[in-house]
A = this chain, B = another copy of it.
């Protein structure tokens, strides 16, 4: 911590205003560092994650600047892009309206073309109703002075649908909102309160014709509208944003898991130094632990449970059963995010060369991971918080406020339901192109290949109980089981869908609605296939790169797969699905749970080293309970100094109200005194 302004330990006690000012300070600091060190645009995102606060810069870097890169033509980029990359202007992405979020085609803000505006023609931008007020864009309330505005293009009465515009909202010099533009912060949220999510109402504002981004669509001065090349990139910003969101999910969960595991182990850490240091280490450790000790240099964590004191919570199987699957999930989501990022980078090069073969694959991949990872991340963080007991409810524990700030990720840019409908339809398509058209593969969607390889006419038979124990340790079996289960869900859902179509005699939006529950289940099942494949890929690489690490992560991988098979991370499916799919015997739950319990025991000695290995600094964990040094209770007690209520012993609430509750006669006495004399002086201060 060489930079004092990165202090975060006062964050959880701030008022909304104080937090926003802190966010502005962080923004200034971030830009200063970027400028002084000439940090290229591509390398700024990890730096942002280190700021310890959510702020307008995020939208500027993830949505505003990339949209200019992807959708502005060369001349337009010359006007705006360099300024954006250098933060001489601050932008955001204004698409969502009060009544339209995910459904971009429904937005109502209008951009009417008028040839006689300005010299070269212009756009008349307007918010036609309350419902069309822009609502949610991060940074739009107070911070940004411009944005990408999505508005419905109307030329000579014809509606061309939503298009992106470069739109200035505040004066470059004074920062005052421009005439005709009303800007507000949309108010306190459950979390994410460093961000000034904004509302914007536009009253008849004119902007030049060339403020529409014209890489793929051109509107001439005479109002002629034409497309240039392929406009598939027009909404590509959303795909990129979904990728970025899902890439961060593993890290967010990892923070919560780190704090929870450390807190659950902390008193044992204290005890260790007393019990184990010194000559009798050999008497206290078994061979496995000595190995781990040699490899980890983590003396404090490697002691056998002592019977002389209360057991520590991390040794309870109930605690392990909740936390360790979250540890496994954090790895799974992190690996999936990284692998999807690599695939996207490759695809982006093709897209920019107007080759769009990988478009569906990228859409399904990023939508699945965005939909599922954000929900599992939020659930997992809350599970971790609950595992910290009562103290976990304090802001000082860190996990709670971080969970709340991560929550909107499950909603914005397409929530689980919306995305699962899109993903589910692609999965249905794959099933139907196999079943109806006999296709054996679709080279454009390699991640759906397992669907083409499934034969629903040959249902698998569940293994016998005698074989099951060893199969549950067989990675090929585990991965095949997740795929068979997914295929069972996909193919039975497709059949239900066909029946609905046949019953209704046609296929429409209402037919799709009859299988939405199935589409959600398909999306979850598909996500687990992706996670396990990506996880196994990384595990295989590690087996040569770092066999020691791989030998531990192997256990974590197995726990991930078995958790899906036992009860699932989500609420749908789990064991019942696997029985129905013929992958597990109906009486196999006992064996499954026994293996899980063994894995929990095996992972236990590695749990703290694993999270310490993530090396997340204390200022980012921002948790008195998750501190690396384990000084939990002192820190917790000290943290109360941050609470404004503790500035005085006797609070204002006593002078204003409590004293009259306890001593109602004082109210009467004061009233009598007021009649007899001038108004009483101000409330006396409490003593310090």
Contact = CB atoms under 8 A, between A and B. Distances in A.
Interface of A: 12-13, 15-17, 20-21, 23-25, 27-28, 31-32, 35, 87-90, 96, 98-99, 101, 106, 130-131, 133, 136, 141-143, 145, 172, 174-177, 183-190, 192, 196, 199, 310-311, 315-319, 321, 382, 386, 389-390, 392-396, 400-401, 404, 407-408, 410-412, 415, 417, 421, 492, 496, 509, 513-514, 516-520, 567-569, 571-580, 586-587, 589-590, 593, 597, 633-634, 636-637, 639-640, 642-646, 649-654, 656-662, 664, 687
A654 B190 CA distance: 24
Contacts of A411: 386, 389-390, 392-393
Given A417-B318, A657-B24, A15 B393 contact: no
Number of copies of chain A assembled together: 2
Given A28-B660, A28-B661, A130-B633, 18 more contacts: A12-B187, A21-B652, A21-B657, A23-B653, A141-B646, A142-B650, A187-B639, A188-B643, A189-B395, A199-B640, A317-B514, A318-B517, A318-B520, A386-B410, A386-B415, A390-B412, A517-B593, A579-B586
Contact of A517 (B27, B185, B317, B386): B317
Contacts of A577: 575-576, 589
Contacts of A21: 651-653, 656-657
A662 B17 contact: no
Contacts of A141: 645-646
A360 to B, nearest CB: 23
B142 A653 contact: yes
Contacts of A396: 187-188
A646 B401 contact: no
20 contacts: A13-B188, A17-B651, A20-B645, A20-B653, A21-B651, A24-B657, A27-B661, A101-B390, A141-B645, A142-B650, A143-B653, A176-B687, A185-B643, A196-B645, A318-B421, A390-B412, A393-B407, A576-B578, A576-B579, A580-B586
Nearest to A582: B586
Nearest to A383: B571
Contacts of A410: 386
A405 to B, nearest CB: 10
A643 B17 CA distance: 9
A637 B586 contact: no
B408 A393 contact: yes
B509 A311 contact: yes
Nearest to A321: B517
A511 to B, nearest CB: 11
A90 B663 CA distance: 11
The 5 closest A-B pairs by CB, nearest first: A575-B576, A576-B576, A24-B653, A24-B657, A318-B516
A190 B567 contact: no
A187 B318 contact: no
Contacts of A318: 417, 421, 513, 516-517, 519-520
Contacts of A417: 316, 318-319
A675 B190 CA distance: 45
Contact of A574 (B185, B317, B576, B636): B576
Nearest to A643: B187
A491 to B, nearest CB: 12
Contact of A190 (B172, B311, B400): B400
A634 to B, nearest CB: 7
Contacts of A636: 98
A520 B597 CA distance: 14
Contacts of A15: 15-16, 644
A101 B98 CA distance: 45
B657 A183 contact: no
Contact of A395 (B177, B187, B389, B658): B187
A80 B194 CA distance: 48
A404 B385 CA distance: 12
B652 A130 contact: no
Q: Name which of A188, A644, A652 has the most chain B CB atoms within 10 A of its CB.
A: A188
A429 to B, nearest CB: 19
B16 A658 contact: no
A87 B174 CA distance: 56
A266 B634 CA distance: 50
Contacts of A16: 13, 15, 643-645
A131 B577 CA distance: 47
Nearest to A186: B640
A12 B193 CA distance: 13
Contact of A394 (B90, B188, B315, B573): B188
A17 B644 contact: yes
A13 B187 contact: yes
A646 B28 contact: no
